[in-house]
C-alpha cells in the first residue's frame, strides 16, 4: 500500500512539474518547489525518532504544511498560466497593494469554482499526505536512545535551517506569503511617501532655471506605449501587417530604427524617461523635477491622460500635471480590458483648451498582458489563416503561437490609436503641433523563449518602437538610424518642448545637432543589436 501511494504521489508531482514547465515557470523554481515536500519529511522523521506521539504530531504538521504547499504551487502555476508572472513579480505586488476589500471579494466571487477546487485539493493533499507519511514512519525501528536524542532534533529543525537560503525561503508557500506581504506593505508605504517627495521636487524647479524659447503657441503630445516590441511592427519589417494606418502616414513620420529601453518594466523605466534618473544612477528622482514640472514652470498647461491603474505613475507624475485624467475602467489592475481608444476624446478636449502652450501625456495600456484584453473583437485579425509568422513559430508550443496572434492584434489596435491621435493633432488649430511615441519596454512572445511576457535579459524585452510626427514638416531621415536608449529621453523631450535648463546635456538629444552615441547596456552587458542579448550571445 505505501508503495502504491508513493507511486501515485510521484505521478502527481510529475504532472504538476510538467504543467509548471509548460506554463513557463523557471526550471530552478520548479525543482526547488518539488524538492521541498521531500525535504520537509525530515521534520516528522526527526520527531518520530523522539517517539510515537511526537511522530504522529509531526505527520499532522506535515499534512498542514503540504496543504499550504499545494495552495502555493497552484497559485504560482495560475499566475504563470494567466499572466505569465511569478508570485514575487513586481506587478503582482503592485496589484495586491492596490486592491481593496471590495475588489478582493469580487475577484473571489468570479473565481469561486476554481477556488473551491483548489481548497478541495489542499484538503486532500494535507490529509492524504499526512496519513501517508505516518504510515511510512510509524513502523520504523527506534535507534539507540543517544542517537534518537541527537539525531531527532537535528532532523526536525534541518528543514527550517535550510530556509535561510533565499531560494528555498521563497519556494515555501508559508515564508513566501510573509515575503510578499512585506513587499506589499513596503510598496503601499513607498507610494504614500512618493506623493510627499513629488511635492518637494516642485520646490527644486527654480534651481534648474528653465527657460522657454519658441512660438507663442505650441502643443506637444507624448504617447507612452506599453510592452511594445518593434519586432512585431510591420513599420519595421514584420511580415504581418500590424501597422497599416501608420504605414499610410510613413511619409510624415520619423521612424527611429535603433531605440531600446534601459529596463524591462514600467516602474523603473517610466521615471528614467521623464527625469534625470538613468541606467547608471537613479539620481534620487523622487525629489527632483520631472520634465512635467519644468514645462509647467515655463508656462505650459500640462495633462496626464492615462488608461492604466498603475499607482506609481499616478502618484509620481499624475500629480505633477495641471490635470490628471484617468479613463481606466478595470477592477483588477492592468490585466483588465480597458481599451486605449478611450484616450482619444480627452486628448481632443485638451487640444481644444485655450492655453497657448500645451504638453499632453497619453499613457497607454498598449500590449500589456493579457494581450487578448487589449483590443476589441474587430481587431481579432491574426491567427485565423496560416502565414509566415506561423512558420517562424513552428517549434513553439501552440499556446505560445496563440499568444503571438493576440499580441499582434494588440499592436494592430495600437496602430489605430496612434493614427487617431495624429489625426486629432492634424485637426488642432495650433500650427506648431507634434507627437512623439515610444514604448516603456518590449515583450518576449515566443521571440527567444517558449513563453510570453516581460523579458529582462534578451533584447526582445528592450527593442521598442519610437516615432515622431510634426504638423506640416517633412521628416529628416538622417535621425532615424541614431542608436538611442530611452533612459536619456528627458533631454529629447525638453528639446521638443523648446525648454532650456542649466542641466541640459545636448549629447542625448535624439534629434539635436550635438547628438553623440554612447555605449548602451542591457542587463549590465554592452549592447550590440542582434548579437549581445540573444540566446548564446
443, 83 contact by CB (below 8 A): no
Q: Examine residue 533 and state whether it is found in any structural domain, yes or no.
A: no
Q: Residue 230: give the domain boundaries.
A: 216-526
Asked whether residue 206 is domain-assigned, the answer is no
More confident residue, 412 or 63: 412
Please give the pLDDT value at position 63: 85
% of the chain surpassing 90 pLDDT: 48
Residues 298 and 434 in one domain: yes
Q: How far is CA 47 from CA 29, 38, 59, 66, 164, in A?
A: 28, 16, 9, 17, 21
**Is residue 211 a part of any domain in this protein?**
no
Q: Are residues 82 and 228 in the same domain?
A: no
pLDDT at 211 over 80: yes
Lowest mean pLDDT across 103-112, 253-262, 275-284, 293-302: 103-112
Distance CA 32, CA 86 (A): 14
Does residue 228 sit in the same domain as residue 110? no
Tens of pLDDT along 331-352?
Answer: 444 445 789 999 999 999 999 9
Regarding whether 238 and 176 lie in a shared domain, the answer is no
Does residue 434 form part of some domain? yes
Residues 378 and 469 in one domain: yes
Give the per-residue pLDDT at 249: 97
- 359 forms beta bridges with 220, 302
What per-residue confidence (pLDDT) applies to 123?
A: 85
| Residue 166, pLDDT score | 62
Asked whether the predicted pLDDT for residue 397 surpasses 50, the reply is yes
pLDDT band at 110 (very low <50, low <70, confident <90, very high): low
Residue 287 CB contacts under 8 Å (≥ 6 apart), including other chains: 197, 200, 201, 204
Say if 210 falls within a structural domain. Answer: no
Take residue 248 and report the three cell numbers written for it. 499610410
Residues 59-73: tens digit of each pLDDT: 888 888 888 888 888
pLDDT score, position 333: 47
Task: Note the pLDDT of residue 381.
Answer: 97
Indicate whether 168 and 292 sit together in one domain: no
Question: How many domains is the chain built from?
Answer: 2
Q: How are beta strands 211-212 and 499-500 bridged, if at all?
A: antiparallel
CA-CA distance, 384 to 233, in Å (whole number)? 19
Each residue's pLDDT tens digit, 237-289? 999 999 999 999 999 999 999 999 998 888 889 999 999 888 887 667 888 89
Q: Is residue 196 part of a domain?
A: no
Q: Do 165 and 282 share a domain, yes or no? A: no
- Structure pTM? 0.74
- Going by pLDDT thresholds of 50, 70 and 90, the confidence category of residue 415 is very high
Confidence grade of residue 91 (pLDDT, cut at 50, 70, 90): low
Q: Which of 185, 205, 230 is the last residue of a domain?
A: 185
- pLDDT tens-place string over residues 354-369: 999 999 999 999 999 8
In a domain, 48, yes or no: yes
- Cell numbers linked to 284: 534620487
Give mean pLDDT, residues 77-83.
69
Answer yes or no: do 179 and 304 share one domain.
no
Residue 451 and residue 343 share a domain: yes
Q: Mark whether 234 and 181 lie in a shared domain.
A: no
pLDDT at 78: 76
State residue 181's pLDDT score: 74
pLDDT at 47: 78
304 and 171 assigned to the same domain = no
Q: What is the pLDDT of residue 331?
A: 47
| pLDDT one-digit tens code per residue, 141-188 | 766 666 667 777 777 777 776 666 666 666 677 777 777 777 767 766
Kindly report, residue by residue over 119-129, the tens digit of the pLDDT.
Answer: 888 888 788 78
Q: What is the largest CA-CA distance in the chain?
A: 93
Predicted confidence at residue 521, as pLDDT, reads 95
Q: What is the pLDDT of residues 457-486, one digit of tens each?
A: 899 999 999 999 999 988 889 999 999 999
Give the CB-side neighbour count of residue 447, counting CA atoms within 13 A.
26
179 and 68 both lie in a single domain: yes
Are 362 and 351 in contact by the 8 Å Cβ rule? The answer is no
Looking at 165, 185, 205, which one is the last position of a domain? Answer: 185
CATH number at residue 344: 3.40.720.10
Position 224 confidence tier, pLDDT thresholds 50, 70, 90: very high
Q: Is residue 532 part of a domain?
A: no
* Mean pLDDT (whole number) for 224-247: 98
Amino acid at each position: 500500500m505505501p508503495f502504491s501511494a508513493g507511486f501515485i504521489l510521484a505521478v502527481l508531482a510529475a504532472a504538476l512539474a510538467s504543467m509548471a514547465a509548460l506554463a513557463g515557470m523557471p526550471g530552478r523554481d520548479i525543482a526547488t518547489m518539488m524538492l521541498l515536500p521531500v525535504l520537509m519529511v525530515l521534520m516528522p522523521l526527526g520527531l518520530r525518532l523522539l517517539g510515537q506521539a511526537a511522530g504522529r504530531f509531526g505527520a499532522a504538521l506535515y499534512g498542514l504544511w503540504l496543504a499550504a504547499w499545494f495552495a502555493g504551487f497552484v497559485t504560482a502555476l495560475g499566475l504563470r498560466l494567466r499572466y505569465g508572472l511569478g508570485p514575487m513579480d513586481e506587478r503582482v505586488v503592485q496589484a495586491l497593494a492596490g486592491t481593496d476589500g471590495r475588489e478582493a471579494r469580487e475577484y473571489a466571487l468570479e473565481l469561486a469554482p476554481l477556488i473551491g477546487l483548489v481548497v478541495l485539493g489542499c484538503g486532500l493533499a494535507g490529509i492524504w499526505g499526512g496519513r501517508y507519511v505516518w504510515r511510512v514512519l510509524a513502523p520504523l525501528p527506534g535507534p539507540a536512545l543517544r542517537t534518537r536524542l541527537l539525531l531527532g532534533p537535528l532532523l526536525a529543525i534541518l528543514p527550517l535551517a535550510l530556509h535561510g537560503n533565499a531560494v528555498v525561503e521563497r519556494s515555501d508557500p508559508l515564508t513566501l506569503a510573509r515575503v510578499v506581504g512585506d513587499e506589499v506593505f513596503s510598496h503601499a508605504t513607498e507610494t504614500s511617501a512618493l506623493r510627499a517627495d513629488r511635492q518637494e521636487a516642485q520646490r527644486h524647479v527654480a534651481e534648474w532655471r528653465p527657460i522657454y524659447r519658441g512660438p507663442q503657441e505650441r502643443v506637444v503630445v507624448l504617447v507612452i506605449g506599453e510592452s511594445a516590441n518593434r519586432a512585431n511592427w510591420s513599420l519595421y519589417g514584420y511580415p504581418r501587417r500590424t501597422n497599416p494606418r501608420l504605414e499610410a502616414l510613413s511619409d510624415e513620420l520619423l521612424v527611429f530604427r535603433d531605440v531600446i529601453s534601459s529596463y524591462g518594466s514600467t516602474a523603473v523605466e517610466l521615471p528614467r524617461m521623464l527625469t534625470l534618473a538613468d541606467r547608471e544612477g537613479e539620481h534620487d528622482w523622487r525629489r527632483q523635477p520631472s520634465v512635467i514640472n519644468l514645462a509647467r514652470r515655463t508656462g505650459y498647461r500640462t495633462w496626464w491622460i492615462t488608461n492604466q491603474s498603475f499607482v506609481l505613475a499616478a502618484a509620481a507624475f499624475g500629480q505633477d500635471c495641471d490635470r490628471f485624467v484617468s479613463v481606466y475602467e478595470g477592477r483588477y489592475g492592468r490585466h483588465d480590458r480597458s481599451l486605449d481608444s478611450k484616450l482619444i476624446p480627452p486628448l481632443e478636449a485638451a487640444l481644444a483648451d485655450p492655453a497657448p502652450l500645451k504638453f499632453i501625456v497619453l499613457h497607454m495600456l498598449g500590449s500589456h498582458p493579457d494581450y487578448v484584453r487589449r483590443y476589441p473583437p474587430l481587431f481579432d485579425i491574426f491567427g485565423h489563416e496560416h502565414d509566415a509568422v506561423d512558420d517562424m513559430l513552428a517549434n513553439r508550443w501552440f499556446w505560445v503561437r496563440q499568444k503571438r496572434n493576440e499580441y499582434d492584434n494588440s499592436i494592430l489596435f495600437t496602430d489605430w490609436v496612434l493614427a487617431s491621435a495624429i489625426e486629432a493633432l492634424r485637426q488642432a488649430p495650433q500650427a506648431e503641433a507634434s507627437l512623439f511615441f515610444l514604448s516603456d519596454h518590449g515583450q518576449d512572445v515566443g521571440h527567444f523563449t517558449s513563453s510570453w511576457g516581460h523579458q529582462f535579459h534578451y533584447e526582445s524585452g528592450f527593442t521598442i518602437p519610437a516615432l515622431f510626427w510634426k504638423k506640416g514638416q517633412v521628416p529628416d531621415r538622417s535621425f532615424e538610424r541614431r542608436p538611442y536608449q530611452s533612459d536619456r529621453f528627458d533631454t529629447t523631450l525638453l528639446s521638443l518642448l523648446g525648454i532650456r535648463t542649466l542641466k541640459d546635456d545636448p549629447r542625448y538629444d535624439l534629434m539635436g545637432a550635438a547628438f553623440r552615441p554612447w555605449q548602451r547596456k542591457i542587463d549590465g552587458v554592452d549592447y550590440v543589436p542582434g548579437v549581445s542579448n540573444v540566446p548564446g550571445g
